[in-house]
Amino acid sequence: MWCVLRVAGWVRLTGADAGNPVRIEANMLTHPDDLKAAVAGVQLCREIANAAPLRPLTKAEVTPGDLSSDELLGFIRNAAVSFWHHSGTAKMGTDDMSVVDGALKVHGIEQLRVADASIMPRITTGNTIAPCVVIGERAAEAVKTEHRL
């Protein structure tokens, strides 16, 4: 079971040298609604696994097991991982938190655009390849128009 969580994390440079690592703080599960969604996901998995048609195929719940509410929250916090389809690290918009504008140009840096999943404000419910193709096509059109190609 997986669910889409709001992650208001950040990525920062640790130094001016290109070889310096970046510092990434995901801030996973910091929004209360995300914890509620994760608990609901565990409960849904339990309902499915305990449904009559599946009873002959299951013996017992292995994980997380019979936990108190606080223990279940601890399990979720420790078991949650972020993988695949990362998006939203270079917000598109006009506010102070935005990185790129509607033409995918990076604010304050000339001749630099971002054209990948990082500009998406929310992850898609499906694979990110289709929206990434659209983003790439939009970037290509913007460059062609700007340079009269």
Catalytic residues: 85
Q: Determine the Cα–Cα distance for residues 110 and 61; give it in Å rounded to an integer.
A: 56
Q: Where are the beta strands (DSSP E) in 1-141?
A: 10-13, 22-25
Report yes or no: 76 and 67 within 8 Å, Cβ to Cβ. Answer: no
DSSP character at residue 24: E
Q: Determine the Cα–Cα distance for residues 109 and 96; give it in Å rounded to an integer.
A: 15
Enter the tokens of residue 125: 């419910």
